[in-house]
Amino acid sequence: MIRLFKYKLLCLLLIILGAATDQSLYAQQGVYDTIVSSAVIYQGDTIEAKTLQSVLLFRRLSDDQRRARAEWTRLRNAIYVTFPYAKRAGIVMNDINTHLAGVNDKEERKKYIRSREKELRKDFSDPITNLSVYQGKVLMKLINRETGNNCYEIIKEYKGAFTARFYQTVAFFFGSSLKQAYDKEGDEKEMEKIVKEVERMYGYRS
């Protein structure tokens, strides 16, 4: 009897300890024991629903698109090469115009122009001979942008003293018109966007 009583008492203790252990385990549930997820009900079944990341699909470029991209890339490369020269030429020419605005004597004007001609030749003679025909056309447009005058007007203004031969050589070498306009809201709109990109890249100020 005593042995049976001890056995029953032991079983009772085990049951009590087991219940206490289960409660302890439930009380220690972590944040990942229950995962909240979106779901949809489809034909009576509850199915987990998730939103996948977007997948971008690109089709092959058409021939016209490839040509347009090639032309844009060519223009962009030409502007990156020639814009520093146009910027430098614009600074010098605008400085000359500012100085000559207060000089009325023709001999004094010619003397000052000759003194600046050497500066331009030093900065531009060698680089220009290494440009392609296309780059030369772009350069003349950019000079118009920086000075407000096309190359023809510049030659007409300073013919015989300033860099007339310089610009005549440019026109002949590049087989282009000196009267190229620059309309940033018109034909040169895309060109202007690229110029703005170059200015941001190198810290130029318009």
Per-residue model confidence as pLDDT tens digits over 141-173: 898 898 887 665 666 665 554 555 566 555 655
Q: What percentage of residues in the chain have a pLDDT greater than 90?
A: 20
Q: 């300073």: which residue's tokens?
A: 158
Confidence at 19, pLDDT banded by 50, 70, 90: very low
Question: Cα–Cα distance between 117 and 162 in angstroms, integer?
Answer: 6
Mean pLDDT over the full length of the chain: 77
Q: How confident is the model at residue 21 (pLDDT cuts 50, 70, 90)?
A: very low
Note the pTM of the prediction, 2 decimals: 0.62
Beta bridge partners of 42: 45
Each domain of the chain, given as residue ranges in start order, spans 83-202
Q: Which long-range contacts (CB under 8 A, 24 or more apart) does 94-103 make?
A: 94/146, 94/147, 96/162
Q: Are 182 and 188 in contact (CB under 8 A)?
A: yes
Please say whether the beta carbons of 204 and 196 come within 8 A.
no
Q: How many residues does the chain have?
A: 206
In b/e form, how buried is each residue of 129-160, taking b as 16+ CB within 10 angstroms?
Answer: eebeeebbbbbbbbbbbbbebbbbebbeebee
Assign 32 a pLDDT band (cuts: 50, 70, 90).
Answer: low
In the predicted model, what is the mean pLDDT of residues 187-203? 92
